[in-house]
Amino acid sequence: MTSIRDTCINFFKDENIKKEIKEIVKPIVTTIYNEIYLYLWFICIYHVFLIFIVLANLYLLLRLIQTRRKQITENYISRDSSV
């Protein structure tokens, strides 16, 4: 006795069945794609915008760290020269 899995595998080995299933599924997939197409573009634009915001924050953070280091070294040097 063959299992359900073996029966399904044998069923899908036939090329005509594969073509018929593709023809049945094709309009369904096309309809789903057409419905979510606009949302996919919004998601892509959102990610690009988000990447630019993260890069801008990184740039600002690095500038802040650099200015703080300069202030610390200037304060340290001015303290040493007064002693």
- Reduced to 3 states (helix: H, G, I; strand: E, B; else coil), residue 8 is helix
Each residue of 12-55: pLDDT tens digit?
888 898 899 999 999 999 999 999 999 999 999 999 999 999 99
Domain extents in the chain? 4-82
Q: Regarding predicted confidence, which is higher, 15 or 61?
A: 61
- The structure tokens 């997939």 sit at 29
Alpha carbon distances (Å) from 40 to 13, 26, 44, 54: 34, 20, 6, 21
Average pLDDT over residues 62-73: 90
Separation between Cα atoms, residue 53 and residue 45, nearest integer Å: 12
Separation between Cα atoms, residue 37 and residue 31, nearest integer Å: 10
Separation between Cα atoms, residue 49 and residue 18, nearest integer Å: 42
Whether pTM > 0.85 for this model: the answer is no
